[in-house]
Structure formats: structure tokens, C-alpha cells
Structure 1
Amino acid sequence: MTVDQMPSVADRRNSAASSGRAGTADRPRSSMAARRHRAFYMFTSPWIIGFLLLTIVPMAYALWLSFTTYDGISPHWRYVGLGNYRELFSDPTTWDALGRAGLFAVTSVPLSITAGMGLAVLVNRPMKARGLFRTLLYLPAVVPPVGAGIAFKQLFDQNSGAANGVLNIFGIDAVGWLADPYARYVLLMTVLWAAGNIMIISLAGLQDVPRELHEAARIDGAGAWRTFRSITVPLLSPVLLFQTVTGVIASVQTIMPLLLAPLGTTGGVTTVPQSNYTYMMHVFAQYFALGRYGYASALLWILFVLILIVTGLIFKFTSGAVFYNVEPEAKK
């Protein structure tokens, strides 16, 4: 390097000053990112702590219990390894209860989604007092399950229920709604009665459908049903997928059969109609009636694995039927 090519003192000063300004500019950006990270974890810490203490820890404890004979009271318990799981797979009562839970999910989920979608289409149309109708149809969804179960139990009581009171007006004998074979239909009514939650989600999806597509379909001569089937339903497929997955999970975990059960016990176990003795009812009986905490924990872990498998199958078989109205880059 020649003397002429060597940087002057002024050039070195300017370069140092520029580097200093760049470093000063980088420091505020890094400190701002650190503040954002701290703010994120500060606001999400209640959920994170709750998830760890109320979900992960109980699941780990239940997993440990599933390998023992612990009954919840006695300090004398023993480790049985996979004994509870071997008993589970050889217990016909467990398989019968699981089959009833699956049948309930197969029937209740499509009915509830169809009812919620129908209500959403109805209240999405221009009408007077539309907001009032939306509120009234959504109100049953915010009623706690315990309150809903007690209300339906009183409504369909064989001796003093309003349902049999209406039948008596027409000279029809009282029906044992809460006993077999009618108990399963009362259970389905409780699900359809609370379809307002699905209605709200479907309504939000309907309002996100571009009106231009409906107008183009009408110009092409498509009727209301063809427009709904060919345009609305494909655009609502992500919403329908969400409702299907959450509906299946909720249906196999329902506690409504217990709330609808007639008063009385048999052998220390609350009387439940055979048609409503679902998987979760079997778990409840093992936990609180028979005190078999280890076996009941094994039942819950098997249910958890089955839910994961069913959810994965739903996503697998619906991957080609779900339409996401986003650009490929945004979808990634």
C-alpha cells in the first residue's frame, strides 16, 4: 500500500464515528427486543404456570398412578407395572363403554354441527331484531353443564316433568325419558340445545365469505343450495374441521350422563341407564365409586392416546378437503 492509498486521520475518525453510531443504533434495537421478550413471558406466565401445575403435573401423576394399585385412601399400595393396562384391554365393560362413547360422538357431532350451521345461516340473513335472535339462540351455550343437566333432569322427570305433562294433555301415558331406551335421546337433546356455541363460530365464518363470490354465482344462474354447497361450504371447511375435532373431543369426555342419571344408587354406584354408560362414566365409577385410582388413571391415559390417534386420522383424511383462503406464502 502506497502512502497515497493509506487512509488519512480524518477518514479513520469518520469511520470510527460511523461504527460508534451503528453500535449505538444496534443497542437500542437489541434492548427493545429483550423488553418485548420479557413482556411476552410476563403476560403469558400465568397461563404457562397454570398449564404446568394444572395439566402437566396432574397428567404425570396420573401416569404414575396407572402403574399402581393406589385407592386414594390407603397408604398400602403396590407397583403393578402394566397390570392395569392388561386388565383394561381384557375388560369387556371397558370396550362396551368405549363403543357407546364412539357411537355418541358419531351421532352428536354431525347433528350439532348441522344444527349450528343452520342457525348461523338463519341469523345471518337480514331480518328485524337479528341481534336479539342471535343472543337468545346463544344463551343456552353459556349455561353451565351442571345447570343444564339438572334442568333437563327436571324437564324429563317421569313423575313431575313438563315433557310428560304435555303428553298427559293428549292422553298419552308417562314415558320414562331418563331410562332405557329413551335416555340416549335425552342426551342428544342436551347437545343440540347448546348448539349456539357452534352457531357463533359458523356465523363468524359465514361473514368472512366474500360476497363477490355469491354475486358471481347468482349471475351464473346458481341457486341458493348450489351456492351454499359449492362456495360457502368449501370456504367454511377450516371452521368445520375445527368444530369436528373439538366436538369429538368434547363428546367422549361428556359428564352429562351422570347429571341426567335418576336418583338412587346400586351397589354404591350411581344408577345410570345402560345406553348412557359411556367411557367417562366408566372412569367415574372406577375413581369415585370403586376407589380404583390406578385402573381409572390407566383408562384416562388410554383415552388420551385414542383422542390423539382419532385427531390425527381426522386431519389426515380431511387434508385434501379443507380449503384455506390464503396465499401459499402466507400459509407457510
Structure 2
Amino acid sequence: MSVEEMPAVRGGTAAATGRTRSAERPRSSMTTRRHRAFYLFTAPWIIGFLLLTIVPMGYALWLSLTTFDGLSPRWRFVGLANYRELLGDSVTWQALGRTGLFAATSVPLSIVAGLGLAVLVNRPLKARGLFRTLLYLPAVVPPVGAGLAFKWLFDQNSGAANGVLTGLGLDALNWLSDPYARYVLLMTVLWAAGNIMIISLAGLQDIPRELLEAARIDGASAWRSFRSITVPLLSPVLLFQTVTGVIASVQTIMPLLLAPDGTTAGVTAIPQSTYLYMMHVFAEYFALGRYGYASALLWVLFVLILLVTAAIFRATSGVVFYNVDPEAKK
């Protein structure tokens, strides 16, 4: 290259570099605007999560290390004393055992009931939309309203359940006491299975019809198609319902709403079979005023939920199948 050509080459290189930089600036500014828009739209949730979740959890962790009673300014820092007391508290372990049994019973029953209803309303029936609406309506009833409704329904003196029994010539039962209270509690959970039905219905409608038609052509029965095709393809939905169901079941407050005396202070009136872990926490907080010990109970429950959730994911890692679009992997 001659000396005369050098300025031209340098000029061409500088022009190309300028065009490259000018092309990079709009791309960079576009990325910055997208980042700003993202944080702008998510800011309400982030602020709410920090103020309503992280801060209360940190405060509860601090309370669990003290003897604070909620009223008196005379409290002291006791370190892990509340946690050591918790380990030796037989009432806590009994309540935790009842809660585990309740979760192991209510979660599978709710999933089976919701899936059964979803299969039913997924069929080409007349007024199918009306049936879906009626079956889903109990799920939108607030827990307080549902608890009070079941309390009136199973009242020993004026409840409709005992009215049916006496009409058949049978003796009235004290439904809200042992040993029947646990069955009433399970009925309140199954009554709201419409939420699981809707989620299962969405999963059923996402299953390719070609697979079911191919299985039918091959001679597979309806039960074989359901067991070998529907359930495996619904496994992510079932996993989601299992995890959320376990978390909800260990935090239930329905036994308090079903208490015979109907008072918040009357935690002791709750039947022994439905005295679950959260009832014990409620009693320690509001009946006994032991905020520090109750906060320790909540933190132990939080850790147990994390461990159980991790165990569920690990145990189901080989049986959950995700329908991923091959193009999405590229």
C-alpha cells in the first residue's frame, strides 16, 4: 500500500468505527430503557415484598431470641433459649405430628377430588360451563365465611347435619368435638376443591389430543390412557398442587373457626384431634402472650416447609415430565 493511500484507509476505518458506535448506542439505550421499564413495573411488588415479607420475617427472627410478650417493655435477650424449650415441648411435637397427618391426608384427597371433577367437566356435557362455575364457587368463599358456614351446618343443636340424622331416626352427634371434628375439618378442605379442579382442567386441555387418539386406535382402554398418558403429562400440575397444598395445610386456621365456643381466646376449646401446629402458635401468641416463643415456632415451621418442599422436589425429580417445545431450547 502506498503512502498516499494511507489517509484514505484511515479515514474509511474511522468512518466504519463511527457507524459501529452509532449502531451500538441505540442498542444500548434500548436495553437501558427495557431495564428501567422492568424495574418500574416490578417496583410495587419489590417494595411490598421487602416491607411486608422480609421486614416482618426479620422482626419475627429477632423476637424469637427474646422474651417479649407484646405489651410489657420489660423483655430481655435470651438467645436460643426459646428454640431449646421448643425441642423439649411435648405439646409442640404432638401438634406438629397432627399437622403432618392432616397434610398427608387432606392434600392427596384434595388433589384426587379436584382431578376427578376436572375430568368430569372436561367431557362434552350440556351446560358444562354452568357446572364448572358451580363447582368452582366454593373455592372463592373466604375461609372465615366457609368456617362459620360449616360451624352452623354441623352445630349440635340447630345444625342441618343433625337435622338429617334425627329425621332418619338416628341420634344427633356432637360434630365439632372429638372424634368427629377431624372429619368436619377434612370436609371443609374438600368442599373447596374447585380451585384444584380449575388448575387440573387447564392441564387436561393442554394435553395433545393426538396422543389420546393414537392410544385409542392402538386399543388402549380409557383407564390405561389416563394412567399412561394423562397422569404423566399432568405431573408438573400435580407437583405444583402438592407443594402448594402442603404449604396451605400446615398453615390452616380452620380449627379455630370451628371452635365450639367461637372465641379467639378459647383455644383450649378446640378438639384435641384438630389442635394443629398453627393453633399452638396462635395460643402462644394471643392466649399466653409469649411472642418470643411463638415467633420461634413460626421460624421452625418456615424451615420445615423449606425442607419438605425440597424433599418433594427431590423425590419427584424422576417422575415429573415437562412438555418443553424443542424450539425453546435453541
TM-score bracket, normalised by the shorter chain, equals over 0.9
Does the C-alpha gap of structure 1 residues 280 and 331 become closer, same or farther in structure 2, counting only changes over 3 Å? farther
Which residue of structure 2 lines up, in the alignment, with residue 199 of structure 1?
197
User: Residues of 2 paired with 1:73 and 1:328: CA distance?
Assistant: 60
Which residue of structure 2 lines up, in the alignment, with residue 250 of structure 1?
248
Q: Which whole-Å deviations, capped at 9, do the CAs of 1:227-265 have from their partners, x for residues lacking one? A: 000000000001101100110010000010101111166
User: Residues of 2 paired with 1:33 and 1:266: CA distance?
Assistant: 54
User: Residues of 2 paired with 1:331 and 1:78: CA distance?
Assistant: 56
Does the C-alpha gap of structure 1 residues 78 and 138 become closer, same or farther in structure 2, counting only changes over 3 Å? same
Q: How far off is 1:209 after superposition?
A: 0.5
- What residue ranges of structure 1 are gaps of 5+ in the alignment? none
Does the C-alpha gap of structure 1 residues 215 and 267 become closer, same or farther in structure 2, counting only changes over 3 Å? closer
Does the C-alpha gap of structure 1 residues 214 and 266 become closer, same or farther in structure 2, counting only changes over 3 Å? closer
Q: Which whole-Å deviations, capped at 9, do the CAs of 1:11-54 have from their partners, x for residues lacking one? A: 43333222222211111111111111011001001110010010
Query: Superposition pairs for residues 52-201 of structure 1, below 5 Å?
Result: 52-201=50-199
Query: Superposition pairs for residues 263-274 of structure 1, below 5 Å?
Result: 263=261, 269=267, 271-274=269-272
Which residue of structure 2 lines up, in the alignment, with residue 24 of structure 1?
22
User: Residues of 1 paired with 2:239 and 2:127: CA distance?
Assistant: 31
**SS of the residue 1:31 aligns to:** helix
Q: How far off is 1:327 after superposition?
A: 5.4
Q: Are the counterparts in 2 of residues 261 and 270 from structure 1 also a CA contact under 8 Å?
A: no
Q: Which of 33, 36, 61 lines up with 1:35 in the alignment? A: 33
Which residue of structure 2 lines up, in the alignment, with residue 3 of structure 1?
2
Q: How far off is 1:174 after superposition?
A: 1.2
TM-score (norm 1): 0.96
Root mean square deviation, CA, Å? 1.7
User: Residues of 2 paired with 1:287 and 1:331: CA distance?
Assistant: 50
User: Residues of 1 paired with 2:168 and 2:101: CA distance?
Assistant: 33
TM-score (norm 2): 0.96
Q: How far off is 1:9 after superposition?
A: 3.6
**SS of the residue 2:68 aligns to:** coil
**SS of the residue 2:22 aligns to:** helix
User: Residues of 1 paired with 2:50 and 2:133: CA distance?
Assistant: 36
- What residue ranges of structure 2 are gaps of 5+ in the alignment? none
Q: Which whole-Å deviations, capped at 9, do the CAs of 1:183-227 have from their partners, x for residues lacking one? A: 000000011000000001100100111111001100110000000
Q: How many residues align?
A: 330
User: Residues of 1 paired with 2:182 and 2:218: CA distance?
Assistant: 46
User: Residues of 1 paired with 2:299 and 2:188: CA distance?
Assistant: 27
